[in-house]
Amino acid sequence: MSQDSRPSPALFTQVDITAGAQVNRQAEAGDTSSEQAALLRGILAAQDRQNELLEELVSQLSAAQRQRNQELAQWKQANPELARGCRMAAEALGKVQVEFLRTMSREVNENSEVLADGEFMLNEFVDRFGPRLAHLNGVLQMLAQLGNAPNPANS
């Protein structure tokens, strides 16, 4: 049998078992763990600061919301007839909105293939229904907000 002259790759890696190597590796591991601890402390400090900022933001937003609710309640108390009129108008406009949505959904269902295939038809549909729906929703929301009975819990 002949010996192959090519070197074969090592099956095992070399392990340094001298005492000096262990001390160096332990020191490196200690450095790494202290570095990780410092990084974790930094992350914790950043999260604490972020939580403080979020608490400030929530308090600012809730204070503004409480003030708006208080002003709205005062307006409703000062204008009870107008508030009642707004509530009745919101109910009537809600019925108009339901009919408008019914018409719009019927239009979509009848022309879904054309709307999906043609960009022109989709743009026409959006131009026809979009602004009207957006304005109707805005007016309805305002009337509903002004027409609701004052909420004593918020004021």
pLDDT of the residue at 25: 57
The rounded distance, in Å, linking the Cα atoms of 145 and 89 is 11
pLDDT of the residue at 10: 61
Q: What does DSSP assign to residue 111?
A: T
pLDDT of the residue at 117: 86
**Buried (b) or exposed (e) across 47-63, using 16+ Cβ within 10 A?**
eeeeeeeeeeeeeeeee
Say how many C-beta atoms besides its own lie within 10 A of residue 13's C-beta: 5
pLDDT of the residue at 152: 44
pLDDT of the residue at 114: 87
pLDDT of the residue at 155: 39
Q: pTM for the complete prediction?
A: 0.54
- Phi/psi at 111 (nearest 5 deg)? -120, 30
pLDDT of the residue at 104: 93
Each residue's pLDDT expressed in tens, for the chain with a length of 155 residues: 455 566 666 666 666 666 555 555 555 666 788 899 999 999 999 999 999 999 999 999 999 999 989 999 999 999 999 999 999 999 999 999 999 999 999 999 998 888 888 888 889 989 999 999 999 999 999 999 888 855 444 43
